[in-house]
Every structure is written in structure tokens, then in C-alpha cells.
Structure 1
Amino acid sequence: MTATRDAHLPDAGRTVRRPMLVTLMIASALSPLAINIFIPSMASIARDLVADEAIVGLGLSLYLAATALIQLLAGPLSDRYGRRPVIIGGMVLYLVGTVMCLAAADVVLFLAGRVVQAASATGIALSRAIVRDVYERERAAAMIGYVTMGFAIAPLLGPLIGGTIDTAFGWRMVFWLLAAIGIVAIGLLFVDLNETNPERGKPMRGQLANYAALLTAGSFWNYAMVSALISAVFFAFLGGAPFVAASLLGMTPAEYGLWFALCAAGYIIGNFITAQLSERLGIKTLMVAGSAISMGAALLSLALVGAGWLSPLTLFGPMFLVGIGNGLATPTSTAGGVSVVPHAAGAAAGMMGALQIGTGALASFAAALVATRHGGPIGLLALMSVFGLGSLVAAMLVRRVRHTA
């Protein structure tokens, strides 16, 4: 678990020096941090660059689209050239994009910088692939649980940090902070990360063929759908809840941020439970439990709101359980998915990450439409329940396997 301990993997007969978990956590958290930290600054950026706020808002949607695409490319590239050069290269591009945003005098350069910034998504996909390289399947689920805590911490702290810095120093200082964190991430990766992929060097044609192997592997799709649909419960809430909170509950952005911390806290707890119990209980048990908890929480909120008890507690309280469910199901489904075709772990991680982000973006958009036009909070919570049910069905279809080569 440290940088000085070697991982002896019997399935591959090799010894690989494991990177520190903090290195992978920072690499994994950088992209979601860059997504969330700039959101409070969109109005400031629009004023400074004399641009429409809707155009500046493309800095979020373009970033998400680029994130999905980059994860698809990062996987096979890392299987071909190795994890280390691809993840470091992505972080260097992220730094270039951040400098472009800092130097922007118009919205065009700013948006271009946001697209280049999205190269940090290599950290999302490849940190998981690296974990699978150096840990056996069940233990990998535990370690991915620790690594993905960044996904909870970044959305929780990002808007608070970004809004505070923008108010005190202006929006460009937010990007100076992102640049500093990027430099730290690159330094850690250079010093701490050795190459962990023993099968690199195959022609790209063969690496892209790994996608064909994954597309025809039914078990991979079971894991991938658990990952995508359990995340869709969370993303749907992100897309619809702000409208409900503002229009029906009269909540301020600060109040929304404080209540939303319940979901992030639940996610951290769920990840910790996964890290402690994945080897003992197996990943299928935790996937099923996490999906059931998330679906049950959405149904609970739906029942309470449907009975006329709409309040911050009935809307946000069950999200604590949704967070726990995500913390149980996301790392375990990821560990299972990247283990289906071991020599294509990078491609699998990239495909799962792209599917997760893509499904999340669609869920967020659909939830916004439902919450504002077709059903309000009832429609939003019903949609979340449907996603939770889909995740539970996919989890139950996974075959129980204790160990894999």
C-alpha cells in the first residue's frame, strides 16, 4: 500500500512497486475538482470576458464531453504505451489548458482551455487501471474505494473553495489554484509512479481490438451498467435538485451546498466500508447492497415528498444513503469490470469511465427537464428510483466470482 512495498501478483508472476494511494487519489480527484470549482465563477467569467453566461456555461458541458472521449482514448493508449506516460502526459496537457484559461482575454480561448484541461481525465481512468495492475481482484475493490474518495471530496469542497477565492481574489485565482494542484500531481506521478502495465507494447490495432473483446463480454456490461446506473442516481439529483431547492424551497446556494454535504459524507462512508469488507464479502454482495440502498433511498424520498412532506430534510436526507450506496457499488463494479479481460484493463477502465460520465450527463439533463417541466420533485425522485432499480437488476445478474486470473 506504500511506495516502497512491492506487489507480488501470482496471476501474472511479476513484481511491481505500488504507488502511494495519495498519488492516485490526487490524480483521480483533479478532473472532478476542475469540473466543480469553477461553477461559482461562471457569472464572474462572463462579466470579465464580456460573454453570455450560457456561452460560458459551455465550459462545463464541453469539459464533460471531452472527459468522456479522453477516457476512451486513454485506456488503449495506456495498454499500448504504458500507464505512466499517458497519465503524466494527460496532466501536462491539463496544465497547458489551465494556462490557456488564465491567459484568456475572450471566451473562445477560455473554452478551448477548458477542453484541453479535460485531459486530466486520464487520472480518473488510469488510476483505477493502475490499482488493478498491482492488486488482486477483491483487494483492488478495496483500494479503488480509497482512490475514488476524491470523487466525493472534490464536489463537496470545490464549489466552496472556488466561490470563496473568486469573491476574495477574482476568478483567475481559482485557476492559479488548479495550476498549483496540477503541478503537485505531476510531481507526485514523476517521483512515485513506476510503470505497472506488463503487457504494453502491442500495436494500437491490437489495443483497439480490446474494445471488441469487451463489447462481446456480457459480464463486462453487467459491471459497466451497475457503475453507470448507480452514478446516474447521483447525477440525476445534481441535475434536478438545484431547481427544486431554489424554486420550491427558497434555498440559497450556500444552504444547498451545506445540505448536499450529506451525500458526499455518505459516499465517503460507503467507500470506507468497501475498503474494509470487499475481500470478506466479495464484490457482488457490495454491489447488490449498494444498488438496493440507493434505490431504497430514492423511493423513501419519493414517498415522503409524495405525501406532501417536501422539505430540505426529506429531499437531502435520503441522499446520505444514496451516497453510501454509490460508495459501495462504484468501486466494486469498477474492480469487477477491469478484471473481465485482464490484458485490457486500461481499455476497460476508459470505457467504464466514459459510460459513467456519458450516462451521468444524460441523467442530469433529463432530471433538469423533469424537475422544471414535467413533475417537479416527484418526477425527479421517480427518475432516480428507476436508475436505482436498473443498477440493482444489473448487479444481481453478475455471477459471483471470488478470484480471477
Structure 2
Amino acid sequence: MHFGLIIISAMLILAVNMGLRQALGIFLPEMGEIYALSMPSLSFAFAFQNLLWGAIAPFAGVLAERHGYGKVLFTGSLIYSLGTALLAVSESAWVYHLSNGVLLGIGVGATTFSVVLGAVSKNVSDKHRSVALGIASAGGSLGQFIYAIAGNMLNQSAGYGNTMLIFAVTVLTIPLLMLPLSKSKPSTLHEKTSGTPFKDKNFILLTSGFFVCGFHVAFISVHLPNYAAFCGLSTDVAATSLAIIGLCNVFGTIAAGWLGGRFHKPYLLSSVYMARALLILMFFLSPKSAANFYWFSVIMGMLWLSTVPLTSGSVAQLFGAGKVASIFGWVMFGHQVGAFVAVYSAGWIVEKTGGYDMAWYLSVGLGVIAAVMHLPMNREVFRQAQKNHVST
């Protein structure tokens, strides 16, 4: 099958997968009233969702490699849709935790980057893989733009419950969108790997850096709407900010994929994390107006998921394209541990201090640490590892 169709399919699946999940932060202030929960309790469900889908991702990747990508995506989409629908039909606190924390965690984990990009990596040549991963990853950003705008408009016109039901229906499009990926056969490659990835220095550094990416993305996507409310700004400003991040990252992610095919990926990752740290510091110190939220969103959007094609591409270079779904799944778990820490700790910080200051400072510090982490990754090691693998 022509790899262009596979890339489009992957892009659309990730648009649904990431778009819906990252737009849920818009509803955070309203969820507190509907489910009668405190900010730490609300945040814990989001945090657990992030942690669970990170834990599910590597196992979903292994199942996809062994039994086919379509089966995993189909099952995950049904669970994802069920969890979203339950948010619409119940105001019970325990149903909220079951839906947002557990079912969405499982559903997102089975339909996320590790599985989808694993299928893309197997069907694209080494020469075009980095760009292909960038284009496919951009789907998540495009979805964020669409779901943030549509979600805010639907919530204002149709209400929270109806919006969640509509979102649940959109998840059911994944079984149709996955058809090109379902024809991607289980791996039959016997690629050479230098032992378990858990002992590989570069794997550890990539995973540790991706922890910081998860911290940044989850903190901003979940808590930026509530932070806007703290600053006296409307939900429209928050929704527009998330939409701008998504739209700009379509270009940022594709550009990262293109650059990753020409320059050493870990050095590009170092630049992204340092740029994030400086941007977050500038935003935090600036006056809080709608205009400043928007310029922050434009620049953050260029950096948002640009780490995904660079990190998944690094995994493909180090361990082989046929192992991306499983090994990148473990790297993604590190990402989601960071997301868990970010979402829950930010809610706890707000509860204890009455503001987000400590969370912003923590984001800056972690960005600097991640930038430094990627510098020891030697270019020659990556080149030699890639030569040792069977090309797909």
C-alpha cells in the first residue's frame, strides 16, 4: 500500500486521539461544579489518565507488532468512546474517575503515538521516515486546534453533556480511519538490537527528557484554562490559546520532522527544551493579558509536539523501525509519568498556595535539565546503530 495513505490515516487517527484528550482541560472549571470535586481530586483523574495511558502504550505496541495494528486500534477506540460517553451521562464523582481516569487512560494508550507511529515507521524508508513521522504527529496538533474550538462552541450552545456525547461519536471514526494501518502486517523482521533498551544510555536519556515533555504538555493543556480564569480572562481566551497551540504545532511538528532528517535529532531536542524553558519564563513574568496568552501560544505551538518525531525517530535509529511501537511505547511511558506529576502537582500547588507560581518555575527548571540531558548523545553512536538494523 502506498505509504502516503498510511501517513494520512495516521495523521487523522492522532487528530482524534490527541485532539479530544488535550481539549478536555477547557472543561476543568465546569467539571468542578458538575461533579462537586476539589481541584486536587479533579486533577488526580487527569493525572491518573496520563499515567495509565503511558503504562498501556508499550504493551499496546507489543500487541500491535505481534498481532496487527488494526486490532489494537479498534479495541482502544471502543474503550475511548465509552469513557467519553460516560462523562456525559453521569454526575457521579466515582463515574468521573472511572471514565476520565481509567477508561480514557486505556483507550488513549491503545490508540496513541507509539502504536500509530510504529505502523508508519514500518512502512516508510529510512530516507523519508523522519518527515513522515513529523507529518503523522502533526495530526495530534491539528486535532487539538479543531477540538478546542469546536468543544468551546459546543459547550456554550449545547452544554457539557451533549458536547461529551458528540466527542464520543467522533472517536468511533477511528475504526474507519485505521483501515490502511490495519493492513500493516505484524513484524517479521529480525532486527539486531544491542540487548535490552533499559540498559542503553541513550534510551535512558531520551526517556528522561521525554518525562519533561510530558510535564510541559500536560500541565499546559490541563491547567492553562484554569490559569486563565485565575488571571481574570474568559474561557474563550483559554480555548483560543489551546487552539493556537494546536494550529501552530502542525507546522512546528512537520518542520521538526524535516530537520530531523538532516541534523542530529538529540541536539534538536536539546534546542526545543531550552526554547521551552525560556518561553515559559518570559510568559510567566509578563503581564497576563489575552494578547500575551496568544503570543505565548504561537511560540509554544511551534515547540509543542515537535519532540515526538525527533524522539520516535531517534528510537528508530537506535533500535530499528520494527521496534518503534514497543520501545517508543516505553519512552512514552516516561512522558506520561511526567504528565501525571505535572497535572496532579499543579492541582496540589493551587490548593496549597492559591496560585500556579511554583508550577511555572518547576516547568522552567525541568526544561533546562532536559536540554542538558540530550547533549551527551553522540552522533556517531546513532549512525552506527542505524547501520546495524535491517532497513524496512
Task: Note the 1:3-14 alignment, pairs <5 A.
Answer: 4-5=1-2
Q: Is the 8 A contact 2:26 2:152 kept in 1?
A: yes
Q: What TM-score do you get using the length of structure 1 for normalisation?
A: 0.78
Mapped partners of 2:357, 2:29: distance in 1 = 30
1:385 is aligned to 2:374: no
Query: Match for residue 207 of structure 1?
Result: none
Cα shift readout 1:110-152 (whole Å, capped 9, x = no counterpart): 5444433432322212011112212245632222222222332
Instruction: Determine helix, strand or coil for the equivalent of 1:280.
Output: coil
1:145 is aligned to 2:134: yes
Task: Note the 1:190-269 alignment, pairs <5 A.
Answer: 190=179, 193-199=182-188, 213-238=196-221, 241-242=224-225, 244-247=227-230, 249-269=231-251
Query: Match for residue 12 of structure 1?
Result: none
Q: What TM-score do you get using the length of structure 2 for normalisation?
A: 0.80
Mapped partners of 1:104, 1:274: distance in 2 = 41
Query: Match for residue 348 of structure 1?
Result: 327
Task: Note the 1:48-127 alignment, pairs <5 A.
Answer: 51-54=35-38, 60-98=46-84, 100-101=86-87, 104=90, 106=92, 108-109=94-95, 111-114=97-100, 115-118=102-105, 119-124=107-112, 125-127=114-116
Deviation of 1:367 (Å): 3.9
Aligned residues: 376
Mapped partners of 2:181, 2:219: distance in 1 = 37
Match for 2:123 among 127, 134, 152? 134
Deviation of 1:104 (Å): 4.8
Q: Is the 8 A contact 1:82 1:196 kept in 2?
A: yes
Match for 1:361 among 333, 336, 340? 340
Instruction: Determine helix, strand or coil for the equivalent of 2:171.
Output: helix
Instruction: Determine helix, strand or coil for the equivalent of 1:235.
Output: helix
Q: Which amino acid aligns with 1:360?
A: A
- Alpha-carbon spacing, 1:94–1:310, altered in 2? closer, same or farther (3 Å): closer
- Alpha-carbon spacing, 1:366–1:120, altered in 2? closer, same or farther (3 Å): closer
Task: Note the 1:228-377 alignment, pairs <5 A.
Answer: 228-238=211-221, 241-242=224-225, 244-247=227-230, 249-301=231-283, 304-305=285-286, 309=287, 311-314=289-292, 317-342=295-320, 343-370=322-349
- Alpha-carbon spacing, 1:58–1:298, altered in 2? closer, same or farther (3 Å): closer
Deviation of 1:74 (Å): 0.8
Q: Which amino acid aligns with 1:116?
A: L
Q: Is the 8 A contact 1:129 1:338 kept in 2?
A: no
Deviation of 1:70 (Å): 1.8
Mapped partners of 2:22, 2:98: distance in 1 = 18
Instruction: Determine helix, strand or coil for the equivalent of 1:281.
Output: coil
Q: Is the 8 A contact 1:291 1:389 kept in 2?
A: yes
Mapped partners of 2:223, 2:24: distance in 1 = 19
Cα shift readout 1:261-295 (whole Å, capped 9, x = no counterpart): 44334422311212333322342342233223223
Q: Which amino acid aligns with 1:253?
A: T
Deviation of 1:310 (Å): 5.1
Q: Percent identity?
A: 12
Deviation of 1:359 (Å): 0.3
Q: Is the 8 A contact 1:291 1:395 kept in 2?
A: no
1:34 is aligned to 2:29: no
Cα shift readout 1:215-255 (whole Å, capped 9, x = no counterpart): 111111222223332342333444654454333x3111212
- Alpha-carbon spacing, 1:263–1:187, altered in 2? closer, same or farther (3 Å): closer
Query: Match for residue 206 of structure 1?
Result: none
Cα shift readout 1:11-55 (whole Å, capped 9, x = no counterpart): xxxxxxx6432211222233333324455556777877xx42446
Question: RCO (CA 8 Å, sep 6+): is it higher in 1 or 2?
Answer: 2
- Cα-Cα RMSD: 3.5
Q: Which amino acid aligns with 2:209?
A: V
Q: Is the 8 A contact 1:286 1:328 kept in 2?
A: no
Instruction: Determine helix, strand or coil for the equivalent of 2:318.
Output: coil
Q: Is the 8 A contact 1:145 1:327 kept in 2?
A: no
